[in-house]
Structure 1
Amino acid sequence: MSDEQVRPLLRVVRGAPEETELAALTAVVAAAASAVPEPAAPVARSRWADRAALVRAPLHPGPAAWRASADPR
């Protein structure tokens, strides 16, 4: 398209809005188009799907160390 044939961003299909109404609508549409989406919240993972749970903590020898070896942290 050449410079003379630029398509309008908004087109009034029905009715006759006032200039202030059209300006307000244009501001809302422009703000919505330029808004940066918020980052998605991190998805909570279950303990079953958590790969870090497969890595076991080091075992420390001492009294009752056998109990701590099976204790999930």
Structure 2
Amino acid sequence: MTIKVIRGNPTPEELAAALAVVRARAAAAASVPSGAPGPRDSWADPARIAADRLPQPGPTTWSRTYWPG
């Protein structure tokens, strides 16, 4: 694995922190069996929007289709 710094002058501690994050993400991705779905991001989960109320018809209904109350 090679990491190249494009801009800036990071300290050795900053490089170590970045490498630790990259390695942890790679290890997590490698531990998931092939064909298994990855973890679902709660922000992208449609249930987050519709969990508390059903859509009601009206002139402002379109504004509530994505952003919660």
TM bucket by the smaller chain? 0.3 to 0.5
If the length of structure 1 is used for normalisation, what is the TM-score?
A: 0.39
If the length of structure 2 is used for normalisation, what is the TM-score?
A: 0.41
Larger radius of gyration: 1
